Amino acid sequence: MKHTGRHTGAFLLLFLAEGDSYGGKLLQRCEDELPSNPIDSAILYRTLKQLEKDGAVESYLDTSLQDKPVKMYKITEDGKRKLEEFQKDIVEKLRNLTFFINKYEGWKETNHD
């Protein structure tokens, strides 16, 4: 079963809460840090665009790092509130998923199939 990256926004906001970044660096962090990474570049940029449209992130051009400007992203106050909402939602989902895993393992032990 393939993951769709439904929590991509949560991960991106979490990384941006630690400091401004650009798309390629955010993608690299997803690849390096997430235990199971469902995020590719198309999903990442689509999510950043939606987060910007929703007011959770802002973008700006940074000319200090290289010869050509780099599009940087930063979290907004709305983004920080959305990050908190993501956290509450994920905790709730985690409780249900933990219940599922425990229930399934109990069933598996008794059915040996």
pLDDT in tens, 27-76: 999 999 999 888 899 999 999 999 999 999 999 999 886 678 899 999 99
Cβ within 8 Å of residue 5, ≥6 positions away: 38, 39, 40, 43, 47
Residue 3 lies in a domain: no
Distance of CA 19 to the CA centre of its chain: 15
pLDDT mean across residues, the chain: 91
Quote the number of domains for the chain: 1
Residue 1 lies in a domain: no
42: domain range? 8-111
- The pTM for the full model equals 0.85
- At position 65, the amino acid (one-letter code) is L
